[in-house]
Structure 1
């Protein structure tokens, strides 16, 4: 087994999106995290951090995966989907050729702590039909070990010889997403996907032979196995996938392959036909 080591590190930066929602963001629209594009962390203890939520807005050419740790979000879209998710639950959206949706925080005493991940669609899928799915916490399989646990949202994961498959089975780029909790100690992850990312959002983790702090994301080099260790309570998102290796053109909520396709998308949005079937 070949041990994977960190080849690149990125740190989240403060930003705002929607109607004044404060977030911490990591992004690379140049293909450096392919098939992943962006990871937002929503953390709100005060009402002013939530702002007006995310009122109706469009997307094309991506998938989004929203995962809630505390609080909740309610989703609605032009397809007629309307649902809410709470702690430990997720919602997945395949925007395809176009979707208009809103995500509004469910305010309460617990505040809000959630993540939204953007995955790039392959060129052949960018104009496919839009789709949406909710995932309950009970649907997500777990691997429990003395040092902690792994919660599989999607894709295949193997930890200490035990394998699980998360319920999200149509993630772009054959992606896999998991939530890792360690309370002290080490675990061994078997993951040979070409792209493997680790994002630490609580505590600190030793990833291979380096240490990642809160808010850092690392891209791992090639290999088949990764050692992760913590000396105190720590949490991370694990992302694995296969790069598309295609050009990326990005403008706001739209991600296509060329500038001409972006301009066409903007025209169709202005003309009110973005979500219509071709």
Structure 2
């Protein structure tokens, strides 16, 4: 079985969004090796001034978002009447489809906030679908202790470890994906089988990891080459997000909260929002 190796390492960069929320961002809107993922934002702070303004009401079209909180609560409200508040360890999924207007407000617990928002692309055939939303509280996230000091949590799709397939609660993304979180102490090891047709990314949010002799550290995104096997070692106490999915081989045009296939579609999204036609 071919073991995946590190193809590229991308350093996240400091940015801000919403009402001045400070984040570490990694994006690949024009990088086919990211697909079907578009962007990963990490929110991590013990200072409420970094995030207290949150993300007031704003629109989206053409994408899905997955918000996953390690520490802190996160409240979602949208035009469909959905209100969801995550607890530590929970996740929220939203498919914007043809249009959604929502707000996202982080709330600190235990003195710190740490979480992620992942943008996933939608294929052209689904970009104008009806919007959807679902939250997954921590108790429904699939967990497995691999040892006394190694835990994997599967949020979306299926992940095969030691011959056992773990199925996450989110199964309705625009294209098949697997999203998981591995948390481990120094010296622990993680091995799994991945679908060879899926592209795979790793976002290291704590510590240092090693894959086939190459290391990556917190704040870095790893693009893996093709293969069926994945083998990771934790060189320190580490945390890693695994993002894997079938790539969408279509053109991407991105403008702010809208991700479509042509500039004409972007202009239509802007016009629809300005004239109150984005949602209905």
With normalisation by structure 1, the TM-score equals 0.96
Which of 176, 179, 182 is matched with 2:178 structurally? 176
Q: 1:275 to 1:176 in 2, by over 3 A?
A: same
Shift of 1:158: 1.1
Is 1:41 paired with 2:45? no
Whether the 8 Å contact between 1:62 and 1:96 is mirrored in structure 2 is yes
Shift of 1:22: 0.2
Shift of 1:143: 2.4
Shift of 1:161: 2.1
Q: Which runs of 5+ in 2 are unaligned?
A: none
Q: 1:222 to 1:32 in 2, by over 3 A?
A: closer
Aligned position for 2:88: 87
Query: Where in structure 1 do 4 or more consecutive aligned residues deviate above 3 Å?
Result: none
Aligned position for 1:4: 4
Aligned position for 2:153: 151
- CA offsets 1:38-85 (integer angstroms, 9 cap, x no match): 000011211210141100000000000000111111110000001200
Deviates more, 1:234-243 or 1:43-52: 43-52
Deviates more, 1:206-215 or 1:56-65: 206-215
Shift of 1:182: 1.5
Shift of 1:108: 4.3
Aligned position for 1:77: 78
Whether the 8 Å contact between 2:52 and 2:106 is mirrored in structure 1 is no
Whether the 8 Å contact between 1:59 and 1:253 is mirrored in structure 2 is yes
- CA offsets 1:107-131 (integer angstroms, 9 cap, x no match): 3442211100000000000000000
Is 1:228 paired with 2:257? no
Whether the 8 Å contact between 1:34 and 1:120 is mirrored in structure 2 is yes
Q: 1:108 to 1:87 in 2, by over 3 A?
A: closer
Q: How many residues align?
A: 276
- Over the aligned positions, Cα root-mean-square deviation in angstroms equals 1.1
Which of 179, 190, 195 is matched with 1:187 structurally? 190
Aligned position for 2:205: 201
Shift of 1:231: 3.0
Deviates more, 1:21-30 or 1:178-187: 178-187
